[in-house]
Amino acid sequence: MSTATSDSPAEAKPKSSEQPQPTSVNSAALPNGEPQTKGESVAPPAAPKLSNAELKAKSKAEKQARRAQAKASKDATPGGAPAPGSAGQSGHPATEPKGNKAKGKSDGAPPVGLGAGRATGARGSVPTIPPKPESSIPECFSHLSMAKRLPITQADKDVHPTVLTLGQQMATFAIDESITRLKATLLAFKKVIDSYTTPPGNTLARHLTPHVLNPQIEYLSACRPMCFSMGNAIRWLKLQVSKIDPDVPDIDAKKQLCASIDAFIQERINFADVVITQKAADYIQNGDAVLVYGRNTLVQRTLLHARLVDGKKFDVIIIDDPYERQGQALAKTLTAEGIKVSYSGDFGALQYQVKLADRIILGAEGMFSNGALYGRCGTSDLAIAAKDSGKQVYALCETINITERVSTDSLTYNEIDPERCSGSSFRLLYDTTPSHYLSTVVTEISSAQPTSVSYLLRKLEDSN
């Protein structure tokens, strides 16, 4: 055993030309801490116990070797040789001590996770598709909504087919005016209620609104923002549903709701239009020149009533929206009934045409409680020019279109035209006309000053 004591521990290390020992066996020391002699043949322990630092270094070395091997197979040189610093040079993973980290970095191979990943991505041949630029709307207009066609696959499963069709028609402006949209919505809800069946263990009053009506409302709102009349009618309909007695059979309850919808349409839409038409026609005198903007259903009925029913002879001046051109259809209808029509496709001769007119009749999409008129874009310009010329301005509006909200500008409540919206510019569909530019507001209840709109709201609440 003298040879074991005379040899230094360094001689026990294997030379570089000898067969390397497995990385899992520590050849420098035995488990008992005694050095291995040169002449002794000691079998390696079956399961050597490694310290935490050694286990960490071993795991790190194996992980680095796997990364180097994967990099060598992916980033091979054109000659077929693996990249420098890869595992293919030595044939086995090298275990570097902690003190040799700087040497490993200076060999030319970038650290794993830093430069290597970026270099691989730069040399990759996978093409990247640039994101499609979206139309940017200024921050001050980001609260405004815009109509859009939603794929039917994105609709809720509970949306009725009739409502699906109605939403597409609203998104494409096939149904445009507020009162027309309201009537179509109520008729669609009538079909939804008629096809409804209360699930077992539920009542119609508690189940219909959250599980059936709300999905229809959300889909219509996603296709195009609801107008004021639709919001008022939906609140009324939900109130009618909540009033149904739970003990009433479903058949009777559905008949009651459908009858209420029919009565609402007849009273608040059809009858209201007839009364407003008669009242507005009384303001037209023989020989008048009436100035109108675009095409509005109430305004058209008023002109036809004054000509066909009252037998009055008057001229009509139409100033059309330069983007929509809906006034052309009105001009054809009036001309066919023997009314002399003067048509202008834009506002180029606005001041001159206002001076020729005796009175101006405008249709409203809605009325705010402070008397401001919410109408098609361009209505405010016409009302301002008429006020400056001292002409009377009449606004026709059903009470269902009156809202409790207050607005003093055209940026609080409005819609963006989806067909004329780009990154550089966009167009608003409506504008707000202050009350002092209007002379009279004609509703089915009464003809009053614009400042009396809040009184009309209170009167409606008392009647309900």
| pLDDT score for 183 | 97
Residues with Cβ within 8 Å of residue 78, at least 6 apart in sequence: none
Work out the angle at residue 382's Cα, subtended by the Cα atoms of residues 416 and 438, and round it to the nearest 5 degrees.
100
Rg, the chain, Cα only: 41
Measured in whole angstroms, the distance separating CA 428 from the mean position of its chain's CA atoms is 17
Q: What is the pTM of this model?
A: 0.70
Comparing CA positions, the residue from 441, 447, 280 lying closest to residue 372 is 441
pLDDT in the model for residue 47: 56
**Is residue 321 a contact partner of residue 337, using CB atoms and an 8 Å limit?**
no
Residues of 107-143 as b/e, b for ≥16 C-beta within 10 angstroms?
A: eebeeeeeebeeeeeeeeeeeeeeeeeeeebeeeeee
First CA to last CA across the chain, in angstroms?
A: 115
Predicted pLDDT at 199:
93
For the chain, domains (ranges, CATH) are 141-272 (no CATH), 282-463 (3.40.50.10470)
Cα 422 to Cα 416: distance, rounded to the nearest angstrom? 11
On whether the CB atoms of residues 360 and 407 are closer than 8 A, the answer is no
Q: Looking at residue 44, what is its pLDDT?
A: 52
Structure tokens of 367?
A: 């009325």
Phi, psi of 334 (to 5 degrees): -70, -40
pLDDT mean by block of 10 residues, the chain; 464 residues = 41 42 43 45 56 78 82 60 44 44 43 43 50 61 86 87 95 94 98 95 93 96 95 96 93 96 97 97 96 96 97 96 92 96 94 95 96 96 95 96 94 90 84 96 94 87 71
The residue type of 172 is T
Strands (E), 144-279: 145-146
Beta-carbon contacts of 96 under 8 Å, excluding residues fewer than 6 positions away, are 61, 103, 104
CB 380 within 8 A of CB 410: yes
What does the buried/exposed string (b/e) look like for 6-36 if buried means 16 or more CB atoms within 10 Å of the residue's CB? eeeeeebeeeeeeeeeeeeeeeeeeeeeebb
Q: What is the DSSP letter of 42?
A: P
Distance CA 96, CA 104 (A): 8
pLDDT of residue 464: 64
Maximum distance among all Cα pairs of the chain, rounded to whole angstroms: 139
Neighbouring C-beta atoms of residue 463, cutoff 10 Å: 7
Q: How many CB atoms lie within 10 A of CB 70?
A: 12
Q: What is the DSSP string of 346-365?
A: SSTTHHHHHHH-SEEEEE-S
Query: What pLDDT, on a 0 to 100 scale, did the predictor assign at position 371?
Result: 95
Query: What does the pLDDT read at residue 25?
Result: 41
pLDDT digits (tens, 9 = 90+) for 178-210: 999 999 999 999 999 999 999 999 999 999 999
Contact residues for 234 (Cβ-Cβ < 8 A; gap 6+): 185, 213, 217, 226
- State how beta strands 340-344 and 315-319 pair: parallel
